[in-house]
Amino acid sequence: MRCLVVEDDNEIATIVKQGLGELEGEVEVEANGRRAYERALTNHYDIIVLDLMLPEMDGYTFAKSLREKEVNTPILILSALRELDDRLKGLSMGGDDYLTKPFAMAELQIRVKNLLKRAQKASEVTQLVFQDLKLNRLNREVVRAGRKLDLQEREFVLLDLFMSNPNKIIGKQTILKEVWNYDFDPQTNVVDVLVCRLRNKLEKDFPTRLIYTVRGVGYVLKSS
């Protein structure tokens, strides 16, 4: 589990990080709403624990903006705002669950586990489709406009990552972790080389591009 905790109260952030760390995951903390939003756009997280009252970008705007970018990472709102209107607003703007402060760590852990299970079940689809491109996870087949494409294993994993996150900018560090499953030297150009190879196979004989470079940030699969 890779979790982003967006919380500007240092004491609460530390408690949440320790508690969710017991779930055998990697827990990152960001206190600034705007910076957290940028991290959520450019990195892959399995779940986000989100406060609502944050500097520079409040939690409502954070959740709403992520959903508008079609980032479907589960969001658990953890807030001192207890009124019904606050909870309804948080859930309607992109939150998947809402827990009020003060809270019991055991309850937070269970709610996080439940959201992760739900997300895992939702991701257990066999086929991904983006425009005229289809990826079948069962038989490892990729077809574009009716033409079968021959991808190597890492090219297939990278394409699966892009098609699981359409219109979302994916940073190089995320690609390194998802495709190679461990950390490389961030300065290495293996990501650029792999993306170039994948692009060549996906786009060379077709009229429209699919993968775009976001300079200094990463790559995105989107419509032309």
d(CA 11, CA 19): 12
Q: What is the pLDDT of residues 139-171, one digit of tens each?
A: 889 999 989 999 998 999 999 999 999 999 999
Q: Indicate if the pLDDT at residue 184 is higher than 70.
A: no
Q: Could you please report the per-residue DSSP string of 110-142?
A: HHHHHHHHHHHHHH--SEEEETTEEEETTTTEE
Q: What is the pLDDT of residue 138?
A: 77
- Which band of pLDDT confidence, cut at 50, 70 and 90, is reported for residue 1? confident
Kindly report whether the global pTM for this prediction surpasses the value 0.75: no
Q: Rounded to whole angstroms, what are the CA distances from 8 to 12, 77, 157, 159?
A: 8, 14, 35, 35
Q: What is the pLDDT of residues 205-221, one digit of tens each?
A: 899 999 999 998 899 99
> Considering the chain, what is the average pLDDT of its residues?
91
- Which band of pLDDT confidence, cut at 50, 70 and 90, is reported for residue 185? low
In 3D space, the residue among 165, 182, 164 whose CA is nearest the CA of residue 173 turns out to be: 182
Domains in the chain, CATH or no CATH each: 2-123 (3.40.50.2300), 127-221 (1.10.10.10)
What is the token pair recorded at 42? Answer: 């450019």
Q: What is the pLDDT of residue 119?
A: 83
Please report how many Cα atoms fall inside a 13 Å half-sphere around the Cα of residue 133, on the Cβ side: 23
Q: What is the pLDDT of residues 10-21, one digit of tens each?
A: 999 999 999 999
Q: Rounded to whole angstroms, what are the CA distances from 145 to 130, 139, 149?
A: 11, 18, 10
In the DSSP assignment, the letter for residue 96 is S
Q: What is the pLDDT of residues 46-64, one digit of tens each?
A: 899 999 999 999 999 999 9
| Bridge partner residues of 100 (DSSP) | 79
Q: Indicate if the pLDDT at residue 186 is higher than 60.
A: no
Q: What is the pLDDT of residues 76-114, one digit of tens each?
A: 999 999 999 999 999 999 999 999 999 999 999 999 999
Q: What is the pLDDT of residue 223?
A: 82
Q: What is the pLDDT of residues 111-135, one digit of tens each?
A: 999 999 988 877 677 889 999 999 9
Residue with the bigger pLDDT between 23 and 184: it is: 23
Q: What is the pLDDT of residue 216?
A: 87
